[in-house]
Amino acid sequence: MIQPIGVIHDIGYRHYDGPRLGRGYATTALALNSLRGVFGLGRAARAKIMPFLIAGTMLLPAVVSIAVMALLKERPLAYPGYAVTMQAVLAIFVAAQSPYLVAPDLRFRVLPLYLSRPITSLDYVAAKLVAMIAALYLLLALPLTLMYLGELLIDLDGPPHTGDYFAALGGGLVCAVTLAVIGVAIASFTPRRGLGVAAVIAFYMFTLAASAVFFGVLLSEGHETAAEWSILINPFFLVDAVQVNLFGTEAANGQGYPPGAGPAVITAGVIALALGALVLRYRKAAAA
């Protein structure tokens, strides 16, 4: 008599007969989960240290500004220049969190698992970018709003600077989009988080140094127009130039920027180039 060599156990699997929420829901869920992860929510306690420390650092100048307004009855910080003032902090945040969004999935080769569901590689890229843009915009919008509320509550001379506040919010959105696309694009080219952090920091340091050197040399030689263009190598000054030309705010560099649509065209070109590189990178990764 032949003995059975295997046994089938009923472990309780049941068919799912509910609604299929589809591609849009999956993409939204991925974006929300990525946004939570950027701030360390749902992760280990040590993962929360850096984002919350940076968030606190971003809020600190706004709190100090409110205290100065209450004591001295004057406004020490301008809304439109807040991003440029805090550019080092924002650069550290982008460098620290962009690799988190993309490196683990590339390193452990789990991207095909995402793409086995209704979402496509473009949906994956969009979800990661939306998460990073939202995180950066929160870091900029919260201190600006706090500072504006403080100005409304404190009886300062003259009307509140409502126009500058909304201009800063608009410029902050452009800044968040530009930094997010650049940071995620650079980080996506390596599966190692440490290398991604170093690459984003190196990009920021290079653009900061190059813009300062070219601006100083050209200005000392009397080439003021060329100096104004050269400072746009730094993405923070590039975004500030767009803000100045769109909303008529004061230039954060103290010198001015090229007028017209030039800075906006350069910004759009940088975003398009980074987006193109990001899409090509993930199409290649999905096909691997």
37-40 long-range CB contacts below 8 Å, 24 or more apart?
Answer: 37/100, 37/101, 37/131, 38/97, 38/100, 38/101, 38/131, 38/132, 38/135, 39/135
d(CA 105, CA 288): 13
What token pair was written down for 27?
Answer: 């993409």
- Specify the amino acid at residue 214: F
Give yes or no for residue 22 having a pLDDT over 70.
yes
pLDDT attached to residue 15:
73
pLDDT at 143: 96
CA-closest candidate to residue 181, choices 140, 245, 136, 223: 136
Q: For residue 81, how far is the Cα from the chain centroid? A: 17
Which H/E stretch holds residue 65?
helix 46-72
In whole angstroms, give the CA distance from residue 247 to residue 165. Answer: 11
What confidence score (pLDDT) does residue 160 get? 87
| Calpha distance 206→103 (Å, rounded) | 23
Token reading at 147: 């500072």
Query: What's the pLDDT tens digit per position in 46-73?
Result: 999 999 999 999 999 999 999 999 888 8
For residue 105, what pLDDT band results from cuts at 50, 70 and 90? Answer: confident
Question: Which whole number is the average pLDDT over 116-135?
Answer: 91
Are 112 and 288 in contact by the 8 Å Cβ rule? The answer is no
Lowest mean pLDDT among 19-23, 165-169, 284-288: 284-288
Pairwise CA distance, residues 79 & 93, whole Å: 20
Other C-beta atoms closer than 10 Å to the C-beta of 176 total: 24
Q: What is the pTM of this model?
A: 0.91
Question: Predicted confidence band at 4 (pLDDT cuts at 50, 70, 90)?
Answer: low
Lowest mean pLDDT among 72-76, 158-162, 261-265: 72-76
- Exposure of 189 in the CB half-sphere (CA atoms within 13 A): 13
Q: Is the pLDDT of residue 110 over 90?
A: no
